[in-house]
Amino acid sequence: MKMVLSDEIEIESALIYYAAILVGGHWIRASDFPNARYFGKHDGAKRYYLIVPDCAIIARFRRANNEKEIVTASNGMKWHSFAEANRWAAEYSPNSAFLDCGD
């Protein structure tokens, strides 16, 4: 098991920085999990943590002020838009997703 720490920054009702976990072809924001725990604020970001299986794929979503997006995942993948990361997740084998990884 490993801990996921998610600092979530939201500006004008749009999340611009957060961590998500791959579950059945979808990225689920860390703070949306029922077992996520609020850890307080850190440098203006709401901090959450949760424990996931070692095999879970975790992605960090970032949107810059200039609207450029970048997503980096714990499996080494990298995308230049949230849409690209979402398309990849939808096509990824659900047998390797968070809930089915055997932990």
Span 74-100, average pLDDT = 82
pLDDT tens-digit series, residues 47-56: 999 999 998 9
* E strand or H helix that includes residue 46: strand 45-52
CA distances 56 to 3, 35, 64, 97, Å, are: 11, 15, 26, 7
pLDDT tens-digit series, residues 6-25: 999 987 767 689 999 999 89
Which residues, including other chains, have CB under 8 Å from residue 19's CB and lie 6 or more apart? 4, 5, 6, 7, 29, 30, 58, 59, 60, 61
